[in-house]
Amino acid sequence: MTEQKLEVKEKKEEFEPKIIGFLCNWCAYAGADLAGVSRIQYPANIRIIRVMCSGRVDPAFILEAFKNGADGVLVAGCHLPSDCHYLTGNFKALRRVLLLKKVLKEFGIEPERLRIEWVSASEGDRFATIIKEMVEEIKKLGPNPLKAGGKANV
């Protein structure tokens, strides 16, 4: 392996992604809280923003997070189809995220950086698994192209 390739590999290994998580108050946030109180280990790469419902997450919040250098964004809410405390917020969130993934691609941001998941208040282990998976996936992608001054143009 050349010295340059070795250096790139080392940089990728050093890279610790910053993930912004928008978690709904009633399910996903409670799931994250359970992971915490149960002392389930997961990477400390996520910064959590509590919202009342995943349907409250405006696509502009997600774009703003990427613009400010987030390497990944997680939107997490109550399970489909009927756990949302506001009835259809989770469906709205899903529709928006799927649409936004297409838009991100146009901007040169890999759609895999944005993820939507359903986590109930009793699924602390599921929350931890999602974060572990997300960190691994984003480590493979590398830093947000906006941070690197690269190809993205939001």
> Applying CB under 6 A, which residues contact ligand FES?
24, 26-27, 53-55, 77-78, 84-86, 89-90
Nearer to ligand FES by C-beta: 78 or 104?
78
Nearer to ligand FES by C-beta: 45 or 90?
90
Closest CA to 122 of 64, 87, 79, 91: 79
Q: Pairing mode, if any, of strands 72-77 and 19-24?
A: parallel
Q: How far is the CB of 115 from ligand FES (least distance, A)?
A: 15
Nearer to ligand FES by C-beta: 100 or 138?
100
Length of the chain: 154
Q: How far is the CB of 44 from ligand FES (least distance, A)?
A: 24
Rounded Cα gap, residues 29 and 52, in angstroms: 9
Cβ neighbours of residue 56 under 8 Å, at least 6 residues apart? 24, 89
Q: How far is the CB of 107 from ligand FES (least distance, A)?
A: 26
